Amino acid sequence: MTIIEDAPIDGEAADALTIGRRVRQLRLARGMTLDDLASAVSRAPSQLSMIETGKREPKLTLLQAIARALGTTIDALLEAEPLDERATLEIALERAMKGSTFQTLGIAPFRIGKSVPDEVLRTLLRLQGEVDRLNDERSATPEEARRANVELRHLMRRQDNYFPELEEHAQRILAAVDHPGGPLTQRTASDIAAHLGFSLHYVSDLPPSTRSVADIRHGRLYLSSTVPHRGDSRTPVLQALASRILGHAEPHSYAQFLRQRVETNYLVGALMIPEAQAAAALQEAKSRRAISIEDLRDAYSVSYETAAHRFTNLATRHLGIPVHFLKVHESGTITKAYENDDVNFPADRFGSIEGQLCCRRWTSRVVFDIPDKFNPYYQYTDTGNGTYWCTARVEASSEGAHSVSVGVRFDDTKWFIGRETTNRGVSRHAVEVCCRRPPEDLETQWRDQAWPNVRTPRTLLATLPTGAFPGVDTTDLYEFLEAHAPEG
């Protein structure tokens, strides 16, 4: 450690509170009073008292003198860990008293005397932690969620939507169960569960707010015995196991919750469509100028959305193609979005795309009006940022129909099946008259003669779901586990 002579000691490894506690405990262990140590280092007792209580940072020369007087080394005084549990509790509480929680509650810092029992210190720290948790829950407003979502999307953009550490996790798990490649079967999903120490149990009374429940104590994974319409029985198994594979802990913020959800979905995609085989197939398709999301979907027996997601993971890293991805509800609302090709998505003042109305001229909206639901829909769209080509499909879900589209810049269209399409659109969604306002003649005729009963989104005015696992009724969850836990 390099320290400038006579400079204050700072940094995480040299926390003033920790140094002060070490000095006091070593002094007491050697039977020295504060006056004794002050005399040995030629300082006033009050000055040393300020150091021992962490109210003053010692300079190097004084710290060296203190170390010599206590028969120890300066490195020993600068260790980050306090000497015993009592010191750890005192330091934690003193830090808490300097924090915003105590200040907001109007609790003035107080001296922690020797007579204060350890359990009282633990109780105060637990109470402070619970107040912080409740404050975090209350701050999970829609605005907070939008900001967290924007930050996460920026991270994905910086990484071209590619996370190498998650790819490595998937490779290790697939190798552990000897997956030969190709579509991942239900049996292989069960093998992955067994490899992670879980048995699968299909039940009819899964809590309504959950897709699966893991009983970590008994190594049991509960899933619904009813597969939703057009559902994939592998997905809930892999989603439940992904959090165990990744070592997810209870999320302490909505941003962490969103990050865990993205990581889970990414890992599931990487397990169902392994990187090595899929990248090789896509590179071969590019050489033939025949890239197709449908071909990727069919090769691995996954949904179109899963194939589209996986393509966006691999396209830039392995093919050198920037892309954008959109999932749009039949109401026109964007529910998922990603881009690294400079396409200009509609956004609110926070920069959030999700929840915005998709331009009516874009492929993602036009596809809802296409009668042919069997074949993919292709379209070129001229925008203020240039021309983009997109391929899209409509898929049904429990929340209504959604369109899923993948798009690229005009120069990259040459690599894709569907580039010959004659479908064209013009979008100027940055200009209000593009589609956010109706044509003038329609508005004139109906402006004062229409009054719709709006289907208000249930989260419009509410804060986001609170709790360790947002949206999950933990009472239902724990009662379910209690009812299904094996005896003994």
Check whether 12 has a pLDDT greater than 70.
Answer: no
Residue type, 190: S
Q: What is the mean pLDDT of residues 36-51?
A: 88
pTM: 0.69
pLDDT tens, residue by residue, 228-260: 545 678 888 999 999 889 998 877 777 888 899
- 276-434 — its CATH code? 3.30.450.20
Domain covering 12-83 assigned CATH 1.10.260.40 in the classification: yes
pLDDT tens, residue by residue, 469-481: 656 777 788 888 8
Q: What is the mean pLDDT of residues 34-54?
A: 87
pLDDT tens, residue by residue, 396-447: 877 789 999 999 999 999 999 999 999 999 998 766 667 767 777 877 877 7
> Which residue matches tokens 């998937």?
170
Neighbouring residues of 459: CB distance < 8 A, sequence distance ≥ 6: 142
Q: What is the mean pLDDT of residues 103-129?
A: 84
127 or 195, greater pLDDT: 195
DSSP secondary structure code for residue 369 in this structure = G
Summary mean pLDDT of the chain? 85
Distance CA(251)–CA(340), nearest Å, equals 28
Any bridge partners for residue 380, and if so which? 389, 424
Angle between helices 186-195 and 234-246 (to 10 degrees): 30
Q: What is the mean pLDDT of residues 167-184?
A: 94
Write down the pLDDT at residue 442.
77
Residue type, 323: V
pLDDT tens, residue by residue, 376-397: 999 999 998 899 999 999 998 7
In sequence order, what DSSP letters do the residues of 132-160 get, joined into one string?
HHHHHHHT--HHHHHHHHHHHHHHHHHTT
Contact 302, 273 (CB under 8 A): yes
| % of the chain beyond a pLDDT of 70 | 88
Q: Is the dihedral of CA 173, 232, 266, 290 positive or negative?
A: positive
Write down the pLDDT at residue 274.
96
- 145-272+472-488 — its CATH code? 1.10.10.2910
In sequence order, what DSSP letters do the residues of 400-413 get, joined into one string?
--EEEEEEEEGGGG
Which pLDDT band holds residue 189 (cuts at 50, 70, 90)? very high
pLDDT tens, residue by residue, 306-357: 999 999 999 999 999 999 999 999 988 899 999 999 998 888 777 888 888 8
Check whether 464 has a pLDDT greater than 60.
Answer: no
Check whether 286 has a pLDDT greater than 90.
Answer: yes
Neighbouring residues of 234: CB distance < 8 A, sequence distance ≥ 6: 184, 185, 186, 189, 272
Q: Which two tokens stand for residue 291?
A: 């890239």
Check whether 302 has a pLDDT greater than 60.
Answer: yes
Residue type, 363: T
Nearest CA among 320, 305, 293 for reference residue 412: 320
Neighbouring residues of 374: CB distance < 8 A, sequence distance ≥ 6: none
- Each domain of the chain, given as residue ranges in start order, spans 12-83, 86-138, 145-272+472-488, 276-434
Distance CA(13)–CA(62), nearest Å, equals 18
Neighbouring residues of 198: CB distance < 8 A, sequence distance ≥ 6: 214, 219, 220, 221, 241, 244
Write down the pLDDT at residue 80.
59
